[in-house]
Chains A and B, each alone.
Chain A
C-alpha cells in the first residue's frame, strides 16, 4: 500500500463520517422487529385503477400506488401481458418486454401519424446539437450513411439481376 500522507487537513471534512463500527456491511441493518410481519403491516389505502396495470406475479396484487403512464396497448401490449405471466427471475419476462419495447416504437410512429403529427426524427434525436458541437463527426456520419446505402443498393441490384438470370436459364 502507498504510505498515507500524514496530513489530510487540506480536504474539508476528512474523516468526519468515519465510524469504526462500519465493518464490513454498512449501513448496519436497522432492526425494527417487523421482519416477519410481512403482509400484516398497515397497508396505505389503495389507489383506484382506472387503466390497465400489469403486476409482477411475485406479489399478490397491486401496490398501494402505481404510475398510470402509457397503459399497455396494441401488439406491444399483448406481448407485455404475456411477459407478466413469467416471474421476474425468468428471461421470458424481460426478453418479452424488450421485444415489446421495440415494437412499441413503431406503434408510436403510427400513432403520431394517425394524430396528424409527422415526427421530426432528426430533431428528436438531438442532431441539432450534434451539428453544433460535433459538425465534423455529424457530416462524416451522414457521408458514411449515404455510402453504405449506395453500396447496399448496388449489391442488392446485382443480386436481384443475378437471380433473374438464373431464373431465365
Chain B
C-alpha cells in the first residue's frame, strides 16, 4: 500500500511498498483510510524533536476510514462501517480508561508509562503506524472508533479525532467562568479551536497570541476573538498585564508546546540543542500573564525530558495547572451536538487538500507556513477513486 514514510528530520516520502497492516490482536480492526490530517504535533516529529521516532514509521493520528476487517472479538464494528478514530489508543478497562482518561491508557504503550498509545506518534507513544496511509491497524476497535453519523460531514468528522476535542478540553480544563478573560497562546488549529470553545464556557473576552499574521487574521474571523502578533509587542506578558488592568488573565491556554518561538534562550536550549524537552516560551508567558490564583491549561505537546519551568512563580501566584492529552472519546457526543447545532464549524479551518502521494510537499508547506496553510488533509488514492 502507499504510506507516508519517515526518513529523518525534514525528510518524508510516500512509499508504495509498505506491507498492508494485519490483525495482530483479537480486538483489532483494519481500516481503509478516507481522510487523514497533518497535525501541528506531527511537526514535532517531522522536526526531530520527539525521541524514538524511528526511520520507516508512518505518521498520522487524525483519520477517518472504512472498516475492512475485524478481529475475532470485535463486537461494535462491522466491515463496511465508516468510522472516525480518536488519536488515543485506549483499552477501555484499565483504571485510567475507567475514569475516562483515554489519553492515559495503561495497556496501549509499552515504551512509556506517562502517555498512552497514539497512532503514528513515535515509539515513545507505542510504535504504532498511523493513518497517513491507505490502511491502518486500529487496536481496541470496540473502544475508540465511532461510526460516523450520516448527517456528519467527513471533514468535520476527521477533525473530531483530535483538533476539536483538544481545543475544547483546553478550554474545559481552564475552568472558565462567565465573563473570564481567556488568553490562548498559539493560533494553530488547536489554539483557534480553543479560542472558539472558550465562548461556549461563557468567556467575556478571548485573546489569541501568535507570530504569524495570516494565522491571527484567520483566528480573529473564525473564533471572533482579539488577535495579537507577539513580534509587534515588545513584551507580550507586560502587554497582557496592561490590557487586563494589571491583573492578569483569568485563564491562560498553552496551545503551542515544544516548538515555541519568542525567546532566544529557550530556542537554543529547547529546539536547537534539545537540552530540554522543547522551548517552554509559551508556558512561561502563560504562567507569567495569568492572574494570581488563575488557571493555566496546557495542551501543547512537550517532549518527555525535563524543561526549565518558572515553578517559583507557579507557587508564588497560587496557579492551578491543568494539562493532558484530550480524552477524545469522552467528548465526542457533546461535540457532535455542538456541530449539529452550528455552534462549532470545524471544517472551516481546512485550507489544503492534498493527495497522499504528495506528502513531502504537504509537510514542507505546513512546516514552513507557506501558502497561508492552517490545516491540511491528505487523501489516499484508494479514497479518491
Contacts and interface: CB of A to CB of B under 8 A. Distances in A.
A64 B25 contact: yes
A56 B110 contact: yes
Contact of B200 (A13, A26, A105, A128): A13
A58 B361 CA distance: 39
Interface string B95-113: 1001110000011111111
Contacts of A64: 25, 91, 107-108
Nearest to B371: A133
Contact of B93 (A41, A59, A68): A41
A125 interface: yes
Nearest to A27: B172
B272 interface: no
Contacts of B368: 129-130, 134
Closest 7 interchain pairs by CB?
A: A126-B364, A13-B343, A67-B128, A67-B127, A105-B8, A4-B204, A108-B55
B179 interface: yes
Interface string B259-276: 000000000000000100
Contacts of B55: 70, 104-105, 107-108, 111
Interface in B273-306: 274, 277, 295, 303-306
Which of under 10, 10 to 19, 20 to 34, or 35 or more describes the interface residues of B? 35 or more
A16 B200 contact: yes
Interface in B142-166: none
Given A64-B108, A80-B52, A8 B140 contact: no
Interface residues of A, number: 88
B229 interface: no
Interface in A33-69: 34-35, 37-38, 41-45, 47-48, 53-56, 58-59, 61-69
Interface of A: 1-2, 4-5, 8, 10-20, 22-27, 29-32, 34-35, 37-38, 41-45, 47-48, 53-56, 58-59, 61-70, 72, 76, 80, 83-84, 88, 91, 94-95, 97-98, 100-102, 104-105, 107-109, 111-112, 119-121, 123-130, 132-134
Contacts of B305: 91, 94-95
A11 to B, nearest CB: 5
A41 B93 CA distance: 7
Contacts of B126: 63, 66-67
A10 B225 CA distance: 12
6 contacts: A2-B244, A32-B95, A48-B24, A70-B56, A101-B48, A105-B8
B27 interface: yes
A119 B201 contact: no
Contact of A13 (B53, B124, B338, B360): B338
Given A16-B200, A68-B24, A125 B360 contact: yes
B320 A53 contact: no
B129 interface: yes
A3 B288 CA distance: 22
Contacts of A37: 95
Contacts of B201: 15, 17-19, 22
A23 B173 contact: no
Interface string B162-184: 00000001001101111101000
A87 to B, nearest CB: 9
Contact of B274 (A45, A98, A107): A98
A18 B370 contact: no
A88 B304 contact: yes
A16 B48 CA distance: 40
B333 to A, nearest CB: 13
